[in-house]
Amino acid sequence: MGNYIATKLEIKNYLFARVPLIVIRTSERERVERMMREISEEMRINIFYYTDVKQVIALHSGNGVSKDVDRDPLSYAQELFRKNRGTTFVIGDVRRISDENAFSREILDSLYLAMETAGTMVLVTPDYVWSRLAQFGLLTVLDYPDEDERENQINKFIAQYNLKYPIEWDAEAIHKAAMLLRGFTEVQIDNILISMLVSNKGLANANLTDLTKQKSKLYAAVPCVEEVAVSADMDVSGLDNLKKWIKERKKLFFISDDILEDYGLTAPKGVLLVGIPGCGKSYSARLFASEWELPLFRFDIGSIYDKWMGESERKMRAALTFIDNMAPCVVWIDEIEKALSVSDSGNDTGKRVLGEFLYWLQESASRVFLVATANNISALPPELFRKGRFSEIFFIDLPTGEERRETIELYLYKCLRKHLTESELDILVEMSEGYSYSDIESVIKEAAQYRLIHQMKQLEFEEIKKYFENNISFANTNPETIKSIREWGQTRAVPASIRKHQ
């Protein structure tokens, strides 16, 4: 049952019981107006609805009848209560009722009158209600539209406009849009859809990512969580196994809660990427966001730590609220071991802060996917590897010959617009044994810079080869590091690549 339907039922029950006061906590007064109109029809009762803009309208007699009460709804409400037993009077968007003041006291007087005449006053407010008022009645909260309601709203919107505009969104896109629009009011959702429709002259699947941009505008930023720009199509060579996992789990990540619950499953929560420097750990964090068309937030968990009492907790709460509001999204913690090494006079502050985050992630109902990366696994506490913490732990090794070939071809074309023959490529593949992906990228980029600086039409193979000759690979300078990461990765993690080193 949606929020709207559940809240409506609750209000109907309260009205039936003739409770003198019903407080509806929400900032969506338009939705309440519609709800009260429906209730008036379904229960066949008279309901008067006041807002500063429209003054008093009688919901039971269509839109027509309205009475200007000169911004003094309470005198008018009292008059109605006196005249007709069982009157229902709604005040939309009430403020100044959180404490005792002239206005809240006047409401109190009206409530005594309502009680005597079996009337009901309904207050629609986003604020807290002064305790003496609150004891007169019952409170209900109308939450923002839930996923089903958002999906319905989008479907209605499309039905309204699809004759005038080309709308590409299929059921899957609509479902995704409904997920992305979490945290918006009904009016905001309509505004976002209409502005996208008009500015793009239709709704294409590519517009889906615009929805997340709208969202980041809505919430105040927190310093330790920063949005990272991600390009829609990334060039990633090798890492077949990881790429396959990302593609497959995308489906699972976007399946609705009901279906997952039915089968006792949960959406994937995150991965840990461990591996050799320069082989695409940080790059793959972007790949998740790009493939899943979600915003990416880098979470600097180390900066949460603060030496002042209570400050770390406050920062963590602010960060989690922000992330929760941004969901669905990908959160990236780079070099997780560095955050863990933060310690305060022997206390494991870093570990505690991270533990808190992981616990939140596990318990949270919102779709947040964590990509954590690590180089130095010896610094990671064993509890991080407990089953269920991460959906998978991947090990990213140096590229194999085949993967180097792919990477060389990729960057040669991207930076030099150059194709080589198979035998020339064979030579570079052999020369680049022990190179990381980023070694290959930087060698070719150096060559490409040289070409631009000297305004050359194209570089010859021999010149490109020289750059490979002069490069010293990471594996060459750090054989011990490679050996230990490999030993760990091969026994404790799933390989990111299915290809084998010769």
Ligand X SMILES: Nc1ncnc2c1ncn2[C@@H]1O[C@H](COP(=O)(O)OP(=O)(O)OP(=O)(O)O)[C@@H](O)[C@H]1O
The item of Mg ion, ligand X, none sharing an interface with residue 120, based on CB under 5 to 8 Å by kind, is none
Our finding on whether 239 is near ligand X (CB under 6 A) is yes
Residue closest to ligand X (Cβ): 280
Sort strands 55-58 and 329-333 into parallel, antiparallel or unpaired: unpaired
CA distance 330 to 268: 11
Binding piece for ligand X, criterion CB under 6 A, among 31-39, 253-261, 437-445, 446-454: 437-445
The item of Mg ion, ligand X, none sharing an interface with residue 270, based on CB under 5 to 8 Å by kind, is none
Q: What is the Cα gyration radius of the chain?
A: 30
Q: Closest Cα to residue 36, out of 45, 190, 84?
A: 45
Our finding on whether 125 is near ligand X (CB under 6 A) is no
Q: CB neighbours (10 Å) of residue 298?
A: 18
- The residues in 177-236 that bind ligand X, with binding defined as CB under 6 A, are 235-236
For the chain, report the end-to-end CA distance as a whole number of angstroms.
58
Among 20, 238, 328, 495, the residue binding ligand X under the rule CB under 6 A is: 238
Q: Closest Cα to residue 442, out of 417, 408, 491?
A: 408
CA distance 341 to 355: 13
The item of Mg ion, ligand X, none sharing an interface with residue 293, based on CB under 5 to 8 Å by kind, is none
Helix orientation angle between 437-453 and 401-416, rounded to the nearest 10 degrees: 20
Binding-site string for ligand X from residue 264 to residue 303, where x marks contact by CB under 6 A and - marks none: -------------xxxxxxx--------------------
Binding-site string for ligand X from residue 48 to residue 87, where x marks contact by CB under 6 A and - marks none: ----------------------------------------
For residues 448-476, one letter each, b for 16 or more C-beta atoms within 10 angstroms of the residue's C-beta and e for the rest, the string is beebeeeeeeebeeeebbebbeebebbbe
The footprint of ligand X on this chain (CB under 6 A) covers a number of residues equal to 18
The footprint of Mg ion on this chain (CB under 5 A) covers a number of residues equal to 2
Our finding on whether 282 is near Mg ion (CB under 5 A) is yes
The item of ligand X, Mg ion, none sharing an interface with residue 279, based on CB under 5 to 8 Å by kind, is ligand X
Q: What is the DSSP secondary-structure string of 449-490? A: HHHHHTT-S---HHHHHHHHHH---HHHH-HHHHHHHHHHHH
| Shortest reach from residue 403's CB to Mg ion, in Å | 18
Our finding on whether 117 is near Mg ion (CB under 5 A) is no
Phi then psi dihedrals of residue 337, to 5 deg: -65, -25
Our finding on whether 441 is near ligand X (CB under 6 A) is yes
Query: Where along the sequence are the contacts to ligand X (CB under 6 A)?
Result: 235-239, 277-283, 373, 375, 407, 437-438, 441
Query: Where along the sequence are the contacts to Mg ion (CB under 5 A)?
Result: 281-282
